[in-house]
Amino acid sequence: MISAPDVVAFTREEELEDELCSEPPLPEEYSVPLFPFASHGANPWAKVASSKFTRDFILISEFSEQVGPQPLLTVPDDAKVSGTFDLNYFSLRIMSVDYQASFVGHPPGSAYPKLNFVEDSKVVLGDSKEGAFAYVHHLTLYDLEARGFVRPFCMAYISADEHKIMQQFQELSAEFSKASECLKTGNRKAFANELEKKLKDLDYTRTVLHNETEIQKKANDKGYYTTQAIEKANELASVEKSIIEHQDLLKQIRSYPYRKLKESDFHPYEPERAPDAAGAGCERDLAASDPAEPGETHLYVPSYTPKLIKAKSAKCFDKKLKTLEELCDIYFFTQTLDQLHQIERTFRGDACYLLTEQISRALLKQQSVTNFLFEDVSFLDEKPPEKRYRGCQGRDAIDRKCLEESLAPKVVISLGSYKSSVECVPIKMEQEIEDSQEPKMTESVPFEPQENLDYLDADIKGSISSGESIEVLGTEKPASGLTKSESQASLPVSPSPQAGRSKVGSRRTVSEDSIEVLSTCPSESLIPEDFKASYPSAINEEPYADDEEGGLRFTPKLNPDRADEQEGVLNREDLAQVDSACCIGKESPSFLEPLPELGQKPCDEDGVVRIPPQPYRQAEQGLRGAFGGFSSHDGISGGLLPCEFDSRYPTGSREVSKSSLDECSDSTSYISSAASTCSDRTPSPAHPACQAGERHKKKAGQNALRFIRQYPFAHPAIYSLLSGRTLVVLGEEEAIVKKLVTALSIFVPSCGAYAKPVKHWVTSPLHVVDFQKWKLIGLQRMASPAGVNVLHALSRYSRYVSVLDADSKTLRCPLYKGTLVSRLADHRTQIKRGSTYYMHVQSVLTQLCSKAFLFTFCHHLHLPISEREPEESVVNRRMNFLKLQLGLANEDLKIVQYLAELLKLQYIQEPGRGVSPLLRFDYVPSFLYKI
Amino acid sequence: KSSVQTIGEEQIQNPYTELLVLKGHQDIVRFLVQIDDCRFASAGDDGIIFLWNAQTGEKLFELHGHTHKITAIAPFSSSGASEEKKHFILTASADKTVLVWDCTSGRQIQKVSCFHSTVKCLTVLQRLDVWLSGGSDLCVWNRKLDLLCKTSHLTDAGISALVELPKNCVAAAVGKELIIFRLIPSNDGSEGWNVLEVKRLVDHQDNILSLVSINDLTFVTGSHVGELIVWDALDWTKQASECNFWDSSVQPEIKLSQSPNETSVQHLTSDEECVFAAIGKGIHVYNLQMKRVIAWQRTAHDSSVLHIEKLPNGQLISCSEDGSVRIWELREKQQLPAEPVPTEKINCDFCQNKISFPPPPPGFFSMWGFGRANKQPNQAAKKIQENTPMYFLELVGDLIGHSSAVQMFLYFGELGLATCSADHLIILWKDGEQESRLRSLTLFQKLAQNGDLQL
């Protein structure tokens, strides 16, 4: 296979030349297809020759403990997107650069398995051979059945343009952090749920075992224990150990972001979000309240029924693995997908477009004095706060961080901290919101538990209720943290598995449907075990009902085809169909060499399994079982650990990624938590608006272009608008008038930071107040007596308005002899697209704004240099400046003068008050223009 | 066709190129009074008084207290030399009360409600530190709102106008009569005053509508039927009178076709030389020296002229029921007296080709006698031959903004002109150039304040 890049590059040039010299296109046989996916409407510039995919996409992969790295889904969910790009191979690559210390488990010296709250890692990865560059965001999700309870995942933004990835690193990082937080939040809830169920199972099992033992005891009068009895006792003991372990885990997961309520009380969550969930909860309570019924392993009620399980340690991981969806709770999963789609929409396309837009927005923000005139400032204000905050702060943090780091290079935190400490685990924790910039203790200072609590508390006390208000719940110091946990853990377990839960109901203090934001923990580093254990608090959970649903999906599917069907049933439209080589991880060569047909036709016979988006189905267990014992970590370190960074940014990316690891993500976590809550509720508030704005611009630009071509008197009309003379568009048909108003609105300078002074449709007679308020008005022409009044008023106030009659195609307005507008609105313009024209207008208007700015802020043009200087000489100076320096002629002066007045008004306005609108006018004769 | 002179859209001499609409009132705004250099009060039929900043148009206070429409308003300031000058306004209303307001705090200070009838006029005699209220009787009050003295019941119609005259006298217009009162210090000492009727002048044929003082020696009155009488302020004798605002030869005819409104003297104003009279729809200039009308504009507006004022800069401003405000200048006639065509006519012809005419108010045409329009050229020609004016009023600008009768206006000099109207609005008209300059000044001051000016 010819490697594409060189050929394509060459032919491209040739083609261009050919086109230049010979008019007729090349015969088909000679023309090399420039761009294999051109038919899909993608632009050829975005594609680097060597890349095998057509456009940017997001890939979610998992390092499965059973089969190793595997792709799960892509966004957008379109097979064409990834093209011939080998997702499996790339998954391997991106999963191999995980810097997270994802090992969780049973650290030596501690009694119970520990959860590791690991921070996401963010790296940039380049594969020049594949032509793929990726921003890779690693995250760890918890799964009770997984090895070490963790499932490493990663999300990658893959683009053929390495510059884009590098330039947009901050933005990508922030956006992906949001998505990651969303996933993790859902995951923690699901994990806690799972633990609870497991606990119930264990509890139930213990009761059953206990009863059996008792029966045996009674039955056995011999005074010695049978082997059977001893077995039973052992089993019972192991169940109890398991219970303690799981309780501990539950506490850990709950302690994660917690606020605590009362000192000693354990506050598990209860279902509360949906009425049916509450019902389910009751049912469950009922069902569980008589657990002592012997012999019954299955109470088949719709709510969760404790099952008899085999006593074994919590570290069992030979079970089926859950899908991502199951891991994260369907609600959060879809939220995350939405977020990812939004990311994709935001960052796709040409890097220079992205960059230009960012730069222009940043510049526009700087032009605080003039930007309100023609720009949509509300858009600047609204959308960017988040963005700006993120951008500035994040960048600051990074800069600072880089400095710091160059001085004292750091060890990758989670790894180091883990290794270094067993007994007293260092905490990396910051008071996020107030002083995120503070250099933090990374390795170091073992905090006193109390202090830790304070810190943690300071960080994590926000809980976002449905009304989006932040509840800060009272903080509390667990005075006897350790003993408490001890007592909790070793508490003689009550016969009823519901004992723990019975407390729950009375303890709810949070509003009905509040969702706890679990993502605010600044650094999800290790938390000392004692502390964690003694740090119980409530978690507001998703209803159990969700869980039940999730649970139902666990039902084994033995037929892989069925799994596909189920996918359809589940309606997971967002999920991509991805291919996975089943043989992955066998030998390194085998996965370094991608199968040629991989992207195209996955089929079972070829040893390629088509897996549904839900990564682990029961159905595949069999297939994967073979590799069950394979250590994925070994595979990675053996095969691909020396990851390739982009050669151009070797240290940079490392530093950035590392610093982002601690600093950036930290400093942004506040934002991301805020943002994630919005995105939890209403998916992507900023972007649709922005896109609507784009659409509007496009439409307005198109209409304006049409207006300019259609009406020879477009110039005086536009001049009217620019010079602040109200233009009334008069017409019978609302649609036509509104269209014209929309078209012309792009020329209307705003008077303040509010909406443009444009009124699309008025049916009543106009008044002088209207001219003060509106600069562009659509007016209805009626034949009725009321219509006569309308016209009467219009003629009365004719000195304040220009009238564009849409019906008779006439314009009555002052003469315009300037040159400015002709540049703005050339009817012979070659511009064809509305958005292009809009941009053209914006650029000319921006130029105009800068002139107005210069004019406004030149002291001597408005005020005398010396006290004795007569007013006339100031006027002369002013006129000279306008004419000679700014090169304005005739009526153009008035445009700049009007804009200057607006600038002055805006600048001198009192902070509390808006600009008082005033009507400026000239006593100039009007003329009637006809087509 | 209206014969009203119009001016085109090109008004070079019209300085008012910026306007600010002040909204607040809910009914006809009838009164505007100046409080100090930059504040003014407005009042009208809604019984609310607003205090405005004439510079910024900012609404300073909204004074509620009256339950009926306001009939008179007068500002007065404390003469306490030591402290800062305190400004108050007196307002009288149809609810038969007079309220005193503090303009600094916007609070009602005092209330007098012992009137038997509506107070129709208020006059402050700064010199004597008393104020007078005129309704069906005349009351004299001191600053503390003690009733010092009052006249007996004069008439049900009440006093329509009051003017201060020298020697502690006041002239009150009561119906057709003009009554001169004198304030005499009361015998029991302290600060009491007695009021004494000195003279009754009955020279007017009809109700006296306007009464203004010209200087210390003269004052002038105008009546509903178009009589203008100039009085000596010291001995209250008639110095001159003019009622021939319409050509005597055609008078009977005109009288028939005219409603009295056509000749009523709505408002009078004066400078040292001339009295400017708003008569019907027209404006007449009466020269005190020559004792005759030197210039006129019979149809200065489309309907009755309600208020007229001579500005220090020589311009004359008139406002009218037709909703317009017009700016005039008194010019000496350049053409020979023999010139047959009156200037106004020239202007009219010239202007009829222009695009815009202010629309006549409803019912406007019916007010005209049918034959009048035809007769006018003849009549004007005759008039010129008999009594050629040496001056003429030139329209230099008009202000279109209100949609209903402009009741009154207030000239603020540098700060512009405030007009109030039956359309519930007040409009501040400003010189755009000057405002622009002021804004620049403020801008650079603010820049300096913010420290942005350093280079």
For residue range B136-151, list pLDDT tens digits in order: 888 888 887 888 888 8
Give me chain B's average pLDDT, please. 80
pLDDT at B348: 39
Nearest CA in chain A to B21: A769
Long-range residue pairs from A831-837, CB within 8 A, at least 24 positions apart, any chain: A831/A705, A832/A705, A833/A698, A833/A701, A833/A702, A834/A697, A834/A698, A834/A699, A834/A700, A834/A701, A834/A702, A834/A703, A834/A704, A834/A705, A835/A694, A835/A697, A835/A698, A835/A701, A836/A701, A837/A701, A837/A702, A837/A704, A837/A705
pTM of the model: 0.62
Q: What are phi and psi of B178, to 5 degrees?
A: -120, 120
Paired strand residues for B325: B319, B399
Structure tokens belonging to residue A662: 């601690």
The more confident residue out of A7 and A820 is A820
Compute the residue count for chain B: 455
Element (H, E) at A125: strand A121-127
CA distance B308 to chain A (A): 22
Residue type, B96: K
Q: Identify the CA nearest to A514 among candidates A304, A310, A766, A270.
A: A270
**Can you tell me the ipTM of this complex?**
0.82
CB contact under 8 A, A904 and B57: no
Structure tokens belonging to residue A467: 């009304």
CB contact under 8 A, A862 and B440: yes
Nearest CA in chain A to B428: A918
A residues 35-54 closer than 8 Å to B (CB): none
- Quick: pLDDT tens for A844-882: 998 899 999 999 988 888 888 888 888 888 889 999 999
Is pLDDT of A344 > 90?
Answer: no
CB contact under 8 A, B21 and A792: no
The more confident residue out of A732 and A386 is A732
CA distance B386 to chain A (A): 38
Report chain B residues whose CB lies below 8 A from the CB of A926.
Answer: 9, 355
A residues 781-800 closer than 8 Å to B (CB): 792-793, 795-799
Report chain A residues whose CB lies below 8 A from the CB of B359.
Answer: 792, 795-796
The more confident residue out of A231 and B52 is B52
Query: Under a CB-based contact definition with an 8 Å cutoff, are residues B316 and B333 in contact?
Result: no
Q: With helix as H, strand as E and coil as C, how does chain B read?
A: CCCCCCCCCCCCCCCEEEEEEECCCCCCEEEEEECCCCEEEEEECCCCEEEEECCCCCEEEEECCCCCCEEEEEEEECCCCCCCCCEEEEEEECCCCEEEEECCCCEEEEEECCCCCCCCEEEEECCCCEEEEECCCEEEEECCCCEEEECCCCCCCCEEEEEEECCCEEEEEECCEEEEEEEEECCCCCCCEEEEEEEEECCCCCCEEEEEECCCCEEEEEECCCCEEEEECCCCCEEEEECCCCCHHHHHHHHHHCCHHHCCEEEEEECCCEEEEEECCEEEEEECCCCEEEEEECCCCCCCEEEEEECCCCEEEEEECCCEEEEEEEEECCCCCCCCCCHHHHHHHHHHCCCCCCCCCCCCHHHCCCCHHHHHHHHHHHHHHHCCCCEEEEEEEEEECCCCCEEEEEECHHHCEEEEECCCCEEEEEEHHHHHHHHHHHHHHHHHHHCCCCC
Nearest CA in chain A to B398: A923
Report chain A residues whose CB lies below 8 A from the CB of B432.
Answer: 920-921
CA distance A119 to chain B (A): 45
Angstrom distance (rounded) from CA A408 to CA B302: 88
Helix A275-289 vs helix A544-552: angle between axes, to the nearest 10 degrees? 70
Size of interface A-B (CB pairs under 8 A): 96
Cα atoms found within 13 Å of the Cα of residue B116, Cβ hemisphere only: 13
Element (H, E) at A92: helix A87-95
Q: Does A859 touch chain B (CB under 8 A)?
A: yes
The more confident residue out of A463 and B60 is B60
Query: Under a CB-based contact definition with an 8 Å cutoff, are residues A139 and A154 in contact?
Result: yes
Is pLDDT of A733 > 70?
Answer: yes
Q: CA separation (Å) from A736 to A646, A729, A771, A805, A834?
A: 55, 10, 22, 11, 18
Paired strand residues for B267: B278
User: A452 by DSSP, 3-state: which?
Assistant: helix
Report chain A residues whose CB lies below 8 A from the CB of B441.
Answer: 862-863
Q: Which of A796, A856, A926 comes nearest B358 by C-beta?
A: A796
- Least confident interval from A351-360, A401-410, B202-211: A401-410
- Quick: pLDDT tens for A138-176: 888 888 888 778 888 889 888 888 888 888 888 889 989
Substitution target from B357, B443, B447, B450 for chain A, most A beta carbons within 10 A = B443
Angstrom distance (rounded) from CA A809 to CA A547: 66
Token pair 């009770």 is found at A144
Q: How confident is the model at residue A28 (pLDDT cuts 50, 70, 90)?
A: low
pLDDT at A442: 39
Nearest CA in chain B to A910: B446
- Quick: pLDDT tens for A181-228: 888 888 888 888 888 888 888 888 888 888 888 887 777 666 666 777
Nearest CA in chain B to A897: B436
- CA angle in degrees (0–180, nearest 5) for A770-A776-A782: 75
Average pLDDT, stretch B86-93? 90
Q: Does A854 touch chain B (CB under 8 A)?
A: no
Among A166-170, A727-731, B185-189, B206-210, the range of highest mean pLDDT: A727-731
Q: Which of B11, B17, B400 comes nearest A796 by C-beta?
A: B400
- Quick: pLDDT tens for A669-691: 333 333 333 333 333 333 444 55
Q: Does A80 touch chain B (CB under 8 A)?
A: no
Report chain B residues whose CB lies below 8 A from the CB of A904.
Answer: 436, 439-440, 442-443
pLDDT at A112: 62
Cα atoms found within 13 Å of the Cα of residue B430, Cβ hemisphere only: 22
Report chain B residues whose CB lies below 8 A from the CB of A796.
Answer: 356, 358-359, 400, 403
Structure tokens belonging to residue B213: 């003082």
CB contact under 8 A, A795 and B359: yes
Token pair 């007016």 is found at A779
Q: Does A919 touch chain B (CB under 8 A)?
A: yes
